[in-house]
Amino acid sequence: MDWLNAGVQGVLLGGQYSLLACGLSLIFGVMRIVNLAHGVLAVLAAYLSLVLVQQGLPLWLAVVVVVPVFAVLGYAVQRGLFNPALAQVRGSDSARQGSRGAGELAPLLVSFGVAVALTSLLQEVFSADTRKIPTGDLASAGVPLGPLSVGLLPLITLVVAAAVIAAVQVFLARTATGRAMRAVADDAGAAAMYGVDPRHTYAVATALAFATLALAGVFVGMSTQFSPGYGDLVLLFAFEAVIIGGLGSLWGTLLGGIVLGLAQTIGAQIDPQSGVLAGHLVFLAVLVVRPGGLLPRSVPA
Amino acid sequence: MSVLEVAGLEVRYGDLLAVDGVGLTLAEGETLAVLGANGAGKSTLLAALAGTHLPTAGTVLLDGDPVTRVPAHRRVRRGIALVPEGRRLFPSLTVEENLLMGRYPRRFGPWDLRAVYDVFPHVAEIRDRRGGVLSGGQQQAVAIGRALLTNPRVLLLDEVSLGLAPSVVTQIYDAVRRITAEGTTALVVEQDLDQALRVADRVQCLLGGRTVLEAPAAGLDREAVADAYFGIAAAPTPAPAPRPTEA
């Protein structure tokens, strides 16, 4: 019974990790950027929702505000920061030939800069105290599932994660913009020959990624005590979920999140202190045995 | 009025002046073959016409409007489509998705999926395969189809024969003949003189980034072309062109 419970809790926890990892996976899949600011941005979304809720907004309305705000922020961050960094990697002939700039590492370093600056800023504004978004009785509500009682909030998180990933997948597979995004991921220069503006398309991808990340951040903020430094842990778990599932594959990311959640809860069942460690060990094992991840790259790229 | 009018075009790669003052005109429905050896500046010329590499001097007029500095993704919406050297299909997209990228610039006209499948029937049979797993000939057919779906005012074809078996090259040029015969204005860059002459109304030879010969394709003096190719006299005459199998 305890093992069954650990398994169910692991899958539910995996839902949160998958939702967190979706945006990271999307940005990597389309642009080959590892966005190190991913975790702290999710925490920023949690703080923003907290402030709105404290101002008296209902939580659902806070989400309706924060998600589009993050989409706009994502578009702006891509145009203003990531695109210039990407231009150093691929861009003009002169930049490629010159030794100035950070080359391949430029986007990674820019995202690192955003991460540390934003963490400091959050500490300045909100202090290092831990907070939690008040949810009334949602966080403690349970639904009976056979012999078990399952938390309502984790269940909602898992359902939302699966729905978001399915929606992004359908968008990429079935719409002209999604097709253009995959084309840009394959060959940005050739995509430009067919009317796709890579800089705009990258920005749309990042806007979408930031929207999913904001949603994930709100769910984290509802279920967990968070502080400005909590973004590091968020980034770590999201990154592990992406790698376990397979880089650039969104269904893989869903699977990777669930595998990571299972490893952590089952590990904790074996030894209460070792849950997170078990997650890291599974991550390491996947890297050694299947460096490409559990699911091969499908879409994008 | 000419569909495409280029004057005094100068294109550089770093310090290298790859195209040095080239001019050309393309009338409606006409096919021009640009010939020349490796490094003559042919592909660079096409890159400047398609907007993937902007020129340092000169003008490009499309239907009388200047597009010289317009970037590639906006130029294709104006009606210049490039079939690039090396085909550059999107490897993770299916054949049909590759073709549909030609619709992204939203230029609709006679070329739709059905029309492309009519010209390249074997492409219809592989429509669900990924672009990355095709043979060179299949890739070339898809790349040309993708460009046609933009319903271009001018179709630019870069070294269509490169890396393909001779029989495949002949098939591809059969299709190009049908496409240009239906009135598509085209500029063909080619090293294979025989294939180029099958489709061209006029030829223009480049050497060292400059135009060294302009002549109608009919009754072309092959020795003059060979001279122009290499910038020397007394080059060997190429073998006679195979007769086209259809009118």
Give me the pLDDT at residue B226, please.
Answer: 80
> Which amino acid is present at A115?
A
Mean pLDDT of chain B: 90
- DSSP category for residue A224: S
Indicate yes or no: CB of B14 within 8 angstroms of CB of A194.
no
pLDDT of res. B161: 92
Q: What is the pLDDT of residues A233-292, one digit of tens each?
A: 999 999 999 999 988 789 999 999 999 999 999 999 999 999 999 999 999 999 999 888
- HSE-up (13 A, CA, CB side) for residue A161: 34
Is residue A103 over pLDDT 80?
no
Q: Is B182 helix (H, G, I), strand (E, B) or coil?
A: coil
Q: Helices marked H in A55-127 — which ranges?
A: 59-77, 83-89, 93-97, 106-126
The CATH class that applies to domain A2-289 reads: mainly alpha
Side chain identity, residue A259: V
State which of A89-103, A104-118, B225-239 shows the largest mean pLDDT.
Answer: A104-118
Taking only the tens place, the pLDDT of each residue in A114-140 is 999 999 999 999 999 999 999 888 878
How much of chain B exceeds pLDDT 90, in percent?
Answer: 79
Average pLDDT over residues B190-205: 91
Q: Is A232 on the interface with B (CB under 8 A)?
A: no
- The residue-averaged pLDDT of A83-109 equals 70
For range B17-26, the mean pLDDT: 94
Please determine, for residue B241, whether its predicted confidence score (pLDDT) is greater than 60. no
Q: Could you tell me which residues come within 8 angstroms of residue A43 by beta carbon, excluding any fewer than 6 positions away?
A: A122, A217, A220, A221, A226, A227, A228, A230, A231, A234
Q: Are A224 and A132 in contact (CB under 8 A)?
A: yes
Among candidates B14, B72, B93 on the partner chain, residue whose Cβ is nearest the Cβ of A193: B72
> Does residue A301 carry a pLDDT above 80?
no
CATH, residue B185: 3.40.50.300
Q: What is the pTM of this model?
A: 0.90
Residues of chain A contacting residue B100, judged by C-beta atoms under 8 Å apart: 176, 179
B223 Cβ contact partners less than 8 Å away, ≥ 6 residues apart = B235, B237
Alpha-carbon distance B214 to nearest alpha carbon in chain A (angstroms): 29
pLDDT-derived band at B14 (thresholds 50, 70, 90) equals confident
Chain A within 8 Å of B124 (Cβ-Cβ)?
Answer: no
Averaged pLDDT of chain A = 91
**Domain membership flag for residue B196:** yes
Q: What is the count of structural domains for chain B?
A: 1
Q: Which two tokens mark A199?
A: 């800089």
The reported pLDDT for the residue numbered A139 is 79
Q: Is the ipTM of this complex over 0.85?
A: yes
Asked whether residue A98 carries a pLDDT value surpassing 70, the answer given is: no
Which residues constitute the domain of residue B52?
4-230
* pLDDT tens-digit series, residues B101-140: 999 999 999 999 999 999 999 999 999 999 999 999 999 9
Q: How many CB pairs under 8 A join A and B?
A: 78
**Chain A residues lying within 8 Å of B101, measured CB to CB:** 179-180, 183, 191, 194, 196
Burial bucket for residue A58 (CB in 10 Å: 0-12, 13-18, 19+): exposed
